[in-house]
Structure 1
Amino acid sequence: MMRKCVLVTGATGLIGTALIDALIDQGYTVHGLSRGEQQHRSSAVRFFQWDTDSGKVDERCLNGVQAIIHLAGENIGAQPWSKHRKQAIYDSHVQSIRLLYRLLENREHAVNTVVSAGATGYYSHRGDELMTEDKLPANDFLGRLCLAWEQAVAEGRRLGLRTVSLRSGAVLATAGGMYPKLVKFIKTGLGAVPGTGRQWMPWVHIDDAVALYLFAMEHNGIHGVYNMVAPQQIQLKPLLYAIGNHLDKRIWLPHIPAFVLKAVLGQMSELLLSSTRVSADKIQNAGFRFTYPEINQAIASL
């Protein structure tokens, strides 16, 4: 019996790397898309190259593929948001999936499902209001970006594809992302709370993020948009203190005022100062069960 094949874009990123390992464990073969040449220790994985800037992609990446998991896109928080940087972020998230759809339009294929990354930046700063998937997007850079990203993914429906977008909170993992940076600062005694600390911080453990992509891919009843956040909603100050407690380190420095963050980071300071309280009810009602629903469980595992 031929094993199912999944195409993963952004395959060498934080989630992509963990996801490929999980797919192999589940008996899938994997095609990965990457900008540069890559190799994997497993014979079940084969990499292909693409360049979203020039619109080039190795068409062989779709041979035998039944599902696409789309994780590609520039890191939103990696650099300050200049006009040029904003355009690069937009193109990498929106145009990359359209490049694949153009490829699907012009050849025979077996793809029936597309599961894409998304972001809770769709909601941006909403104070204490609980964000469910039916809320309107924020009218700022992140809100407009995430809306365009989801709309581009949904264009696959006209090709007869089942499409899913997962609005992810901060992914907590030891291999990258926000968590190791927070641990480093707290361990060295430089831990401080940005802004008031009362801003809600949506989060999800890396293992649950990977499991959610598999769940969305494997369940045909899942379609449209779902929040990818842990059920326990937590504010930034308690989150930092929880990490400090597990490290047996006190956070003693004063809060960093919002105006200081804005002066240093510019508009990108929104990532730290926005309060986004996000509901996990929809995906739980669809049958998904979190391994790490609470922050202390998640930090202890990390």
Structure 2
Amino acid sequence: MRETTKGKILVTGGSGLIGSRLSELLTQAGYEVAWLSRSSGKADKYKTYTWDIERGEIQHDALEGVEAIVHLAGAGVADKSWTEARKKLILESRTQSTALLMEKLSALERKPKVFIGASAIGYYGADTGDVMIDEKSPAGDDFLAQVVKSWEASSAPVEGMGSRRVLIRVGVVLSASGGALPQLLAPLKFGLGAPLGTGRQWMSWIHIDDLCRLFLEAIENTAYTGVYNGVSPSPATNKEITTEAAKVLKKPLWLPPVPGFVLKVALGEMAQIVLGGSKISSRKAEEMGFKFDYTHLNSALKNILLK
């Protein structure tokens, strides 16, 4: 059963890569979009409410009349080196912000119909090899896997409040505006592109528009509950993505691949993000009837790179 009444949707992390594009699509679909942010000056287009996670405060009227919450906020995983302090921030920015939302929602007389939580395919572990992974696969035991497990668990209380909960484990988001692709393409533009490590590690990618449409579908279609992988039907290896991007841009590749030990020296523990990977299935979303606009890497890269 599909909800047809448009209402107010509150987005945390709205100014980020996913949040900004999702807000555009939600507005186009007829929803009233509001942001929950640390600062009130984040957007001219959207009503912005403020919250202070450390002090446990949310602007008093932010949650009033909200039909859905899309919770995307969290410190960037690849923005800075993984010092112990940074790792603590990566975890707590997700779990503490979610806990604050749970606390404030529990006091509301009228709860939102649905809570959509961003998650990550890092749940399954940094490197799961060539095995096809689905939502029933076990969690990994590395740092990011533990972060994602705690992140997902922190929103569980909303189900006891009568709200529908959907978690979308986001893969490698392809967008011209940010994420992994601009970093991957930077050397290519100078003719110095190369696969990273062996190049055989899987990158379960998704076009930014398909991902945001999946979030929209999870809001509107009340049959969506639980966990869904936010990835395309065609995962590719690091070498395949690099090679295909070079073809689209008509740039040469610089071989051999960048050795893994070089990346480990440069990035430390964070190197696992680029040296590892997982082959993730999108079947569950497809079985719900979701149609991807970009099922193949070539069409996704052309749409992003040749605009």
TM-score by length of 2: 0.94
1:3 deviation in Å? 4.4
The residue number in structure 2 matching 1:115 is 116
Percentage of matched positions with identical amino acids = 38
Q: Which amino acid aligns with 1:151?
A: A
1:39 deviation in Å? 5.5
1:41 deviation in Å? 4.4
Contact 2:192–2:252 (Cα < 8 Å) also in 1: no
Q: Deviations over 1:82-128 (max 9, x none)?
A: 11111100011111111011001123234120011111111121110
One of 214, 225, 230 as aligned partner of 2:216: 214
Say whether residues 1:95 and 2:120 are aligned partners. no
Contact 2:15–2:42 (Cα < 8 Å) also in 1: no
Counterparts of residues 255-294 of structure 1 (less than 5 Å): 255-294=257-296
Contact 2:105–2:111 (Cα < 8 Å) also in 1: no
Contact 1:189–1:251 (Cα < 8 Å) also in 2: yes
Counterparts of residues 180-195 of structure 1 (less than 5 Å): 180-195=182-197
Contact 1:73–1:89 (Cα < 8 Å) also in 2: yes
How many residues align? The count is 300
The residue number in structure 2 matching 1:85 is 86
Contact 1:128–1:275 (Cα < 8 Å) also in 2: no
Q: Which amino acid aligns with 2:268?
A: G
SS in 2 for 1:8: strand
CA distance in 2, matches of 1:91, 1:108: 28
CA distance in 2, matches of 1:39, 1:89: 21
Contact 1:119–1:169 (Cα < 8 Å) also in 2: yes
CA distance in 2, matches of 1:68, 1:233: 29
CA distance in 2, matches of 1:289, 1:298: 14
Q: Which amino acid aligns with 2:35?
A: G
Counterparts in 2 of 1:39 and 1:235: CA distance versus 1, 3 Å: closer
CA distance in 2, matches of 1:36, 1:222: 32
Say whether residues 1:6 and 2:9 are aligned partners. yes
Q: Deviations over 1:193-212 (max 9, x none)?
A: 11100000011001001100
1:31 deviation in Å? 1.4
Q: Which amino acid aligns with 2:281?
A: S
CA distance in 1, matches of 2:155, 2:286: 23
One of 230, 233, 241 as aligned partner of 1:231: 233
**Structure 1 ranges of 4+ moved more than 4 A:** none
CA distance in 2, matches of 1:21, 1:131: 31
Q: Deviations over 1:198-236 (max 9, x none)?
A: 000011001001100000111111111110000001111
Counterparts of residues 28-39 of structure 1 (less than 5 Å): 28-38=31-41
CA distance in 2, matches of 1:289, 1:40: 31
5+ residue gaps, structure 2: none
SS in 1 for 2:236: coil
5+ residue gaps, structure 1: none
Contact 1:195–1:256 (Cα < 8 Å) also in 2: yes
Q: Deviations over 1:106-164 (max 9, x none)?
A: 23234120011111111121110111100111011011111111111222111111111
SS in 2 for 1:59: coil
Contact 1:59–1:103 (Cα < 8 Å) also in 2: no
Q: Which amino acid aligns with 1:22?
A: L
Greater CA drift, 226-235 or 53-62: 53-62
SS in 1 for 2:194: coil
TM-score by length of 1: 0.96
Greater CA drift, 184-193 or 165-174: 184-193
Counterparts of residues 127-276 of structure 1 (less than 5 Å): 127-276=129-278
1:182 deviation in Å? 1.9
CA distance in 2, matches of 1:168, 1:287: 18
Counterparts in 2 of 1:99 and 1:198: CA distance versus 1, 3 Å: same
CA distance in 2, matches of 1:263, 1:159: 47
The residue number in structure 1 matching 2:18 is 15
CA distance in 2, matches of 1:258, 1:59: 50
